[in-house]
């Protein structure tokens, strides 16, 4: 196989640290596996002294498979593994840990639930709250932070600290460790037991790391210790594709590598073998707006190709319909649906697109589980109001909405399986003001029953006061209220397409069944089977398609409204860059001028990749 000059320089590197900057589609996996083969070919490095680290098991398996293919199927004892698998092996030998000592995800969730009950923490979105807190616990460990200085993004500091300490206590009581403990304990082991560290330094004298831009602080510190004294570190990555800061990835570690290793060699793999020249150049014009990065001049090895298209639509419904019709035209022109991808910033976005794909019977595949908007707790609350208005006064349904907004009605007041408002008023006969609230609720339910779906949702939000309740809850959860209001906006947008409740409920059922079918199909690799590929920008990393659509390229979506600091905006720009560089031949970026009755601004990223204002 022929290699370009930069690839050959990286592959044939001898001793000491080297930083390999690998642009999109530049053949980094080939360089990594060929580098291992080159080390063995000279005969001076034993295979058992080589360690190749990746971030996912799938990547480790693929890397090992490609290496074995290079070696004509011969089994060679080079170690391929993830950070966690390598570090757990070290702990296993040092402390006798077994797989049973690794906490399961359902146990972690149970520990948090138990502590929430103990602390009397009530949240509407329990699963989301628990996932977010567990993510924060992971970040504190991975960044080796002082908990006393940590500012929680999800709840007041004192609550977070109690949840953190309670979670840690439960792990120890059960004799369990989580994935972050593997890193912390390995770091502590190497720091305290120089003899054990020395043994692993002798074991792995050559360390190669893939996707180095995704490394976190503690992973890096452990690797630095292991690499001593020779520092034969071969790190490969692209700082422009670092998009996992929310998981603890720190691109600044890669940017500071040459300060930590002043004699390190740097090689830039700047030839893109994937995308056309127009796509590579447009992506390049975008990413230069980031200041914290290595400068690069990426060159396409393919022809010009068609121009990058930017399409503006009157509203989000028009955008979804236009994309679906173009997909149908590509299919009719002979393109495989599996070579077409639609990318979006968050998994809440593609509902309109999914509904249009279902309407036109176009098969599709999702890489990430799409949340069912109709099962979101906000939707459940609003739909419970509607069902009550239509006669469903079962206790479970009434409990969904009775104190949203607050009416100060206790569960004890709802004492029968089917709620009687007269009995509730009787329960509070000594509190006239609660009786008045119940009478107002009865009036509201009668009014809702006479409305069309969209008007009913709007009435619940504004006249009944549900929007005010969402704003209060957002304040407690330290969220932007727009995040919650957008869910209600989506539900109202969906309702606008139906003239009656029965028709709308039937649509919800059909939509839910389709998402369940998608979830069952997720075991198949993306791009296999017939179907358009739908995924978030995060989920698209490492993949490529002949035709790519990026939808909802609007301010507040991408860059996301949460991106306030410059570092956040740069991460958002890297995400858009990753999305653009998934396309081999055709790239279309779509934006709507209006949604939920509000004017939308096109994303600043559109201006940036054009290099000028775009009408």
Reported residue count of the chain is 615
Catalytic residue among 7, 28, 35, 181: 28
Report the alpha-carbon distance of residue 424 to residue 441 in Å, rounded. Answer: 12
For this structure, is 582 an active site residue? Answer: yes
Nearest of 587, 80, 591, 21 to residue 304 by alpha carbon = 587
Q: Would the CA dihedral through 51, 52, 56, 57 be positive or negative?
A: negative
Report the alpha-carbon distance of residue 143 to residue 151 in Å, rounded. Answer: 14
- Cα angle value 516/520/522 (rounded, 5°): 115
Catalytic residue among 210, 239, 319, 355: 210
Written as six digits, the tokens of 221 are 């510190």
Report the alpha-carbon distance of residue 581 to residue 283 in Å, rounded. Answer: 7
Nearest of 454, 456, 485 to residue 472 by alpha carbon = 485
For this structure, is 28 an active site residue? Answer: yes
Contact (Cβ atoms closer than 8 angstroms) between residue 66 and residue 29 = yes
Report the alpha-carbon distance of residue 581 to residue 57 in Å, rounded. Answer: 24
For this structure, is 125 an active site residue? Answer: no
Nearest of 604, 580, 612 to residue 276 by alpha carbon = 580
Report the alpha-carbon distance of residue 6 to residue 596 in Å, rounded. Answer: 50
Residues 6+ apart with CB under 8 A from 281: 300
For this structure, is 406 an active site residue? Answer: no
For this structure, is 558 an active site residue? Answer: no
Where do we find the tokens 């003239």? Answer: 499
Catalytic residue among 29, 205, 219, 278: 29
Written as six digits, the tokens of 312 are 């503006």
Catalytic residue among 136, 180, 211, 281: 211
Residue 229: is the preceding peptide bond cis (ω within 30°)? yes
Written as six digits, the tokens of 77 are 């004892």
Catalytic residue among 241, 366, 490, 518: 241
Nearest of 184, 298, 288, 324 to residue 574 by alpha carbon = 288
In this structure, are strands 594-595 and 598-599 parallel, antiparallel, or unpaired?
Answer: antiparallel
- Cα angle value 144/56/163 (rounded, 5°): 40
Task: Name residue 547's beta-bridge partners.
Answer: 340, 586
For this structure, is 169 an active site residue? Answer: no
Report the alpha-carbon distance of residue 389 to residue 375 in Å, rounded. Answer: 19
Report the alpha-carbon distance of residue 220 to residue 131 in Å, rounded. Answer: 25
- Cα angle value 149/154/158 (rounded, 5°): 50
Q: Other C-beta atoms within 10 Å of 483: how many?
A: 16
HSE (side-chain half, CA atoms, 13 Å) at 32: 34
Catalytic residue among 345, 351, 477, 582: 582
- DSSP 3-state assignment of 583? strand
φ, ψ for residue 569 (rounded to 5)? -65, -40
The kind and range of the H/E element at 325 are: helix 316-332
Burial 358-396 (b: 16+ CB within 10 A, else e): beeebebbbbbebebbbebbbbebbbbbbbbbeeebeee
Question: What residues are annotated to the active site?
Answer: 28-29, 210-211, 241, 582
């Amino acid at each position: 196989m022929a290699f370009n000059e930069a690839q050959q320089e990286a592959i044939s590197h001898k001793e000491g640290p080297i930083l390999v900057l690998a642009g999109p589609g530049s053949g980094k996996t080939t360089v990594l596996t060929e580098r291992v083969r080159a080390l063995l070919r000279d005969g001076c490095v034993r295979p058992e002294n080589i360690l190749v680290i990746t971030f996912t098991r799938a990547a480790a398996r693929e890397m090992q498979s490609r290496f074995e293919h290079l070696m004509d199927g011969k089994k060679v004892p080079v170690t391929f593994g993830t950070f966690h698998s390598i570090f757990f092996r070290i702990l296993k030998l040092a402390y006798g840990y077994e797989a049973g000592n690794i906490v399961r995800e359902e146990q972690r969730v149970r520990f948090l639930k138990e502590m929430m009950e103990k602390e009397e923490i009530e949240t509407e979105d329990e699963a989301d709250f628990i996932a977010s807190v567990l993510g924060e616990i992971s970040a504190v460990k991975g960044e080796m932070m002082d908990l006393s200085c940590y500012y929680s993004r999800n709840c007041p500091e004192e609550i977070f600290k109690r949840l953190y300490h309670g979670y840690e206590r439960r792990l120890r009581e059960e004799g369990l460790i989580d994935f972050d403990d593997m890193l912390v304990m390995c770091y502590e082991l190497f720091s305290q037991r120089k003899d054990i560290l020395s043994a692993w330094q002798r074991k792995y004298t050559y360390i190669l790391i893939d996707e180095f831009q995704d490394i976190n602080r503690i992973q890096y510190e452990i690797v630095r210790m292991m690499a001593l004294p020779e520092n034969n570190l071969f790190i490969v990555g692209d700082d422009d594709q670092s998009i996992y800061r929310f998981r603890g990835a720190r691109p600044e570690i890669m940017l500071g590598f040459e300060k930590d290793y002043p004699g390190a060699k740097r090689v830039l793999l700047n030839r893109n073998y994937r995308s056309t020249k127009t796509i590579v150049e447009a992506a390049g014009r975008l990413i230069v707006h980031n200041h914290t990065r290595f400068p690069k001049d990426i060159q396409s090895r393919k022809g010009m190709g068609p121009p990058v298209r930017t399409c503006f639509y009157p509203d989000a419904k028009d955008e979804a319909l236009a994309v679906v019709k173009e997909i149908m035209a590509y299919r009719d022109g002979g393109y495989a649906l599996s070579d077409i991808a639609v990318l979006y910033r968050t998994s809440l976005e593609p509902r309109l697109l999914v509904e249009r794909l279902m309407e036109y019977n176009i098969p599709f595949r999702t890489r990430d589980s799409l949340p069912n908007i109709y099962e979101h707790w906000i939707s459940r609350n609003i739909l419970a109001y509607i069902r009550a208005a239509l006669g469903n006064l079962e206790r479970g349904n009434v409990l969904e909405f009775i104190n949203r907004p607050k009416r100060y009605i206790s569960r004890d007041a709802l004492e029968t399986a089917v709620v009687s408002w007269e009995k509730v008023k009787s329960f509070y006969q000594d509190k006239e003001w609660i009786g008045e609230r119940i009478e107002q609720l009865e009036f509201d339910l009668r009014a809702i029953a006479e409305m069309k779906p969209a008007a009913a949702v709007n009435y619940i939000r504004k006249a009944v006061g549900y929007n005010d309740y969402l704003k209060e809850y957002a304040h407690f959860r330290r969220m932007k209220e727009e995040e919650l209001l957008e869910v209600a906006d989506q539900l109202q947008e969906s309702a606008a397409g139906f003239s009656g409740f029965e028709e709308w409920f039937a649509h919800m059922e059909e939509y839910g069944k389709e998402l369940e079918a998608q979830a069952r199909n997720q075991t198949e690799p993306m791009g296999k089977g017939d179907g358009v590929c739908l995924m978030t920008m995060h989920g698209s990393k490492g993949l490529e398609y002949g035709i790519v659509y990026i939808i909802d390229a609007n301010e507040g979506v991408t860059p996301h409204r949460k991106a306030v600091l410059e570092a956040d905006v740069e991460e958002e720009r890297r995400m858009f860059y990753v999305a653009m560089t998934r396309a081999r031949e055709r790239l279309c970026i779509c934006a709507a001028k209006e949604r939920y009755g509000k004017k939308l601004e096109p994303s600043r990223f559109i201006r940036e990749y054009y290099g000028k204002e775009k009408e």
